[in-house]
Amino acid sequence: MITLVELASLSQESSRVSKFNLEKILRALETEPVFSTLPITTEIARDASRLFPILRDPADCVIVATARAHGLRLLTSDLRIISSNCVPTID
């Protein structure tokens, strides 16, 4: 869920993600069965709070904690996440 908020924020801050592209991405996330959004649970919130000293970005902490809670590898180019080894990554 936090990734959706980050996408929306990026569309406001950057010319790289236009509002049109944002709508296209959000529509695909709603309609394509290959995508699913995962809720932020209390377990994820607890884990995210423990990750803050390492990752320092609250959104990154939630994303990493969500991946960990669901046993997922995270696709990222964020060097802090990759080097932390807190979650398996695809970089």
Residue given tokens 């990493």 in the structure block: 64
Q: Give the pLDDT score at 15.
A: 60
Mean pLDDT of the chain: 88
Q: Give the pLDDT score at 21.
A: 80
- The residue ranges of DSSP E strands in the chain, in sequence order, are 74-75, 89-90
State whether residue 89 is helix, strand or coil: strand
Question: Which of the four pLDDT bands, split at 50, 70 and 90, describes residue 20?
Answer: low
Asked if residue 49 and residue 21 are part of one domain, the reply reads: no
Asked if residue 27 and residue 64 are part of one domain, the reply reads: no
86 within domain boundaries: yes
Gap between the Cα atoms of 29 and 33, Å rounded: 8
Domain hosting 26: range is 2-31
37 within domain boundaries: no
Q: Both ends of the chain: CA-CA distance in Å?
A: 21
- The answer to whether the CB of 84 falls within 8 A of the CB of 65 is no
Asked if residue 55 and residue 19 are part of one domain, the reply reads: no
54 within domain boundaries: yes
More confident residue, 7 or 42: 42
Number of domains in the chain: 2
49 within domain boundaries: yes
Asked if residue 83 and residue 55 are part of one domain, the reply reads: yes
